[in-house]
């Protein structure tokens, strides 16, 4: 074999790369677990979450870069899973409870996201634009509280400043008008039947593409036609 | 006397999709009043821009042209000289876009350039990638990858906000070697924990360049090195590495004469 002075120079390609922190792609799930999700919808949503975790885990880059947090709203707002990459992520068991404080969930979720971005910044970890994914089959029961107006404003600001990508998904029975008010920059999408599995497959595939993108790339999203009514 | 070698190699993600290499680099070695001056430039075309490979090439060529004139005119190396060069590089890219009735955004690229003479130097950058400087045996990052808030955003010379991503550095001591690289190389060449150059990666390569008696012959080995599996495992992006090193002077060895042989 031909002698290559560069290859044979003893250069160390591995060690600093191993130490340099992987840039993160935060993914915040805001999930409706109010009474109406009881039964089949909740079961399918839970199955979708498992698929999401498994498919992130199956991708060598995504499992190190995509970090998922789960916040639920049903009677109250709960942070069930703090931001964790797929290998450290245990799928939380979703439990049904009460009404739909959607506005409060959005506000608290975005607060938590901001706080997490600060942690990443402090530690010198780069990050991709975060994803916020809201799934509901109802409408906000806190529509007449300050939570809702604040939620609408903050999602709007976030879209304008491009500080995160917000997606609202309505399951059958969802108040699509309220979702449209909340997600004014990107129109909300209606879920086809209970295709949560396809939705999470799409989410995982899209985030795999983003987490693989070089620093000079912008990643176009693939069509959500497999799970969304278009 | 300087040895210079540089190469740009397409990333595996680009070769998988058939996208061209969007990185470009070039250099000139000029003599001014008998003194050698090294001029280096490299650029990384935006993955999201359709003609960024052409943008990167045009920006690098315009930069070398402008720097050669600047140096020949004996202009002082400083920020205003850097802005003058950037202005010409941007104008060249805009002209290219105009010719084709396209938006300059379709030609978006980062740009890094450097000038090193015996008594002055400057390192300039808009966007990511970096310059590493070797001076008196030690390495310093002259510039650092310049990013927007998000990991997949950077500054391009065609962006309205390019000034936010502008970096200028002049090393106060004499420079023995420099290495410039695009973002495809930065994760193996820089240590993010303490903002340092990863010397065990750069230095062996610099030594190869410094020791060479025939640096043009290093071009092909550099391409082969940049295409190795161990690098591709760590980045699937286009990779550019441009190294300039003062040639190590090999003193001719004269046969020593024993006393008895002396006349």
Query: For B99-126, how does the pLDDT look when each residue is reduced to its tens digit (9 = 90+)?
Result: 999 999 999 999 999 999 988 999 999 9
Mutual angle of helices B79-99 and B52-72, in 10-degree steps: 140
Contact B200 A7 (CB under 8 A): no
Residue A35 is assigned to a structural domain of this protein: no
Q: How does the average pLDDT of chain A come out, rounded?
A: 90
**Token representation of residue A118:** 């600060």
**Cα dihedral across residues A49, A53, A59, A63: positive or negative:** positive
Domain that holds residue B92: 2-246
Percentage above 90 pLDDT, chain A: 62
CATH of the domain at B84: 3.60.40.10
pLDDT of B17 over the 90 cut: no
CA distance A97 to chain B (A): 37
**How do residues A219-229 score in pLDDT, each as one tens digit?**
677 888 888 88
Question: In angstroms, rounded to a whole number, what is the distance separating the alpha carbons of residues B237 and B22?
Answer: 9
Distance (Å) of CA B117 to CA A10, B28, B53:
30, 12, 30
Residues 6+ apart with CB under 8 A from B79: B168
Question: Is the separation of the CB atoms in B243 and B176 below 8 Å?
Answer: no
H/E element, B80? helix B79-99
Which positions in chain A touch B184 (Cβ < 8 Å)?
214
pLDDT of A14 over the 70 cut: yes
pLDDT band at B236 (very low <50, low <70, confident <90, very high): confident
- Using the Cβ of A214 and the Cβ atoms of chain B, whether some distance falls under 8 Å is answered with yes
pLDDT of A28 over the 90 cut: yes
Residue B159 is assigned to a structural domain of this protein: yes
What pLDDT sits at residue B255? 59
What pLDDT sits at residue A62? 86
Distance (Å) of CA A131 to CA A122, A161, A212, B67, B80:
20, 14, 15, 44, 41
Distance (Å) of CA A130 to CA A67, B52, B202:
10, 26, 34
More confident: B230 or A219: B230
Q: Quickly list H helices, B112-258.
A: 183-189, 199-211, 219-226, 229-232
What pLDDT sits at residue B263? 58
Helix, strand or coil for residue B213?
Answer: coil
Contact A214 B237 (CB under 8 A): yes
Question: Is the separation of the CB atoms in B106 and B92 below 8 Å?
Answer: no
**How do residues A74-118 score in pLDDT, each as one tens digit?**
999 999 999 999 888 889 999 998 999 999 999 999 999 999 999
Residue A74 is assigned to a structural domain of this protein: yes
Nearest to B247 by CA among B221, B225, B223, B214: B214
Residue B255 is assigned to a structural domain of this protein: no
ipTM summary value: 0.87
Residue B263 is assigned to a structural domain of this protein: no
Residue B254 is assigned to a structural domain of this protein: no
Domain that holds residue A80: 49-126+150-212
Question: In angstroms, rounded to a whole number, what is the distance separating the alpha carbons of residues A191 and A168?
Answer: 10
Residue A5 is assigned to a structural domain of this protein: no
**Token representation of residue B47:** 């993955």
Helix, strand or coil for residue B19?
Answer: coil
**How do residues A143-162 score in pLDDT, each as one tens digit?**
999 999 999 999 999 999 98
Q: How does the average pLDDT of chain B come out, rounded?
A: 92
C-alpha radius of gyration, chain A, whole number: 19
**Token representation of residue B89:** 């590089």
Strands B138-141, A25-32: parallel, antiparallel or unpaired by DSSP? unpaired
Which of B144, B150, B236 to mutate: most A Cβ within 10 Å? B150
pLDDT band at A214 (very low <50, low <70, confident <90, very high): low
DSSP A216: T
Give the max Cα distance, chain B: 82
Question: In angstroms, rounded to a whole number, what is the distance separating the alpha carbons of residues A220 and B1?
Answer: 48
Which of A125, A127, A216 to mutate: most B Cβ within 10 Å? A216
Residue A33 is assigned to a structural domain of this protein: no
Residues 6+ apart with CB under 8 A from A218: B46, B47, B48, B152
Contact A12 B201 (CB under 8 A): yes
What pLDDT sits at residue B194? 85
> Domain tally for chain A?
1
pLDDT of B16 over the 80 cut: no
**Token representation of residue A20:** 């340099």
**Token representation of residue B6:** 């540089």
Residue B186 is assigned to a structural domain of this protein: yes
What pLDDT sits at residue B254? 58
């Amino acid at each position: 074999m031909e002698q290559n002075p560069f290859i044979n120079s003893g250069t160390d390609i591995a060690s600093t790369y191993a130490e340099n922190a992987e840039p993160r792609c935060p993914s915040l799930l805001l999930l409706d677990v109010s009474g109406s999700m009881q039964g089949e919808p909740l079961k399918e949503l839970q199955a979708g979450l498992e698929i999401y975790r498994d498919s992130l885990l199956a991708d060598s880059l995504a499992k190190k870069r995509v970090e998922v947090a789960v916040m639920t709203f049903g009677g109250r707002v709960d942070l069930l899973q703090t931001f964790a990459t797929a290998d450290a992520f245990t799928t939380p068991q979703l439990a049904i409870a009460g009404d739909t404080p959607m506005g409060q969930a959005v506000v608290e979720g975005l607060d938590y996201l901001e706080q997490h971005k600060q942690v990443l910044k402090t530690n010198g970890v780069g990050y991709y634009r975060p994803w916020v994914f809201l799934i509901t089959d109802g409408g906000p029961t806190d529509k007449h509280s300050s939570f809702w107006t604040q939620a609408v404003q903050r999602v709007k600001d976030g879209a304008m400043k491009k500080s995160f990508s917000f997606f609202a998904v309505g399951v059958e029975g969802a108040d699509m008008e309220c979702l449209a008010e909340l997600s004014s920059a990107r129109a909300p999408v209606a879920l086809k039947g209970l295709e949560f599995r396809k939705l999470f497959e799409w989410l995982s595939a899209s985030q795999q593409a983003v987490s693989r993108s070089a620093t000079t790339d912008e990643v176009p999203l693939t069509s959500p036609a497999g799970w969304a009514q278009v | 006397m300087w040895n210079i070698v540089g190469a740009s190699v397409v990333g595996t993600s680009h070769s998988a999709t058939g996208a061209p290499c969007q990185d470009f680099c070039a250099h000139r070695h000029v003599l001014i009043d008998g003194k050698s001056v090294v001029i280096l430039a490299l650029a990384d075309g935006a993955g999201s821009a359709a003609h960024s490979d052409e943008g990167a090439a045009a920006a690098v060529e315009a930069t070398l042209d402008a720097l050669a004139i600047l140096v020949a005119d004996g202009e002082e190396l400083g920020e205003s000289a850097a802005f003058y060069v950037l202005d010409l590089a941007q104008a060249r890219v805009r002209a290219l876009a105009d010719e084709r009735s396209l938006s300059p955004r379709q030609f978006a690229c980062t740009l890094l350039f450097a000038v090193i003479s015996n008594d002055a130097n400057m390192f300039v950058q808009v966007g990511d990638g970096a310059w590493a400087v070797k001076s008196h045996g030690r390495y310093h990052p002259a510039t650092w990858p310049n990013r927007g808030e998000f990991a997949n955003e950077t500054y391009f010379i065609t962006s309205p906000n390019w000034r936010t991503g502008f970096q200028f550095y002049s090393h106060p001591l004499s420079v023995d070697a420099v290495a410039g690289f695009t973002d495809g190389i930065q994760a193996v060449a820089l240590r993010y924990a303490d903002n340092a150059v990863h010397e065990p990666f750069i230095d062996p390569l610099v030594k190869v360049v410094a020791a060479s008696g025939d640096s043009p012959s290093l071009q092909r080995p550099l391409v082969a090195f940049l295409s190795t599996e161990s690098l591709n495992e760590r980045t699937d992006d286009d990779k550019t590495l441009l190294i300039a090193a003062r040639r190590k002077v090999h003193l001719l060895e004269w046969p020593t004469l024993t006393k008895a042989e002396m006349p």
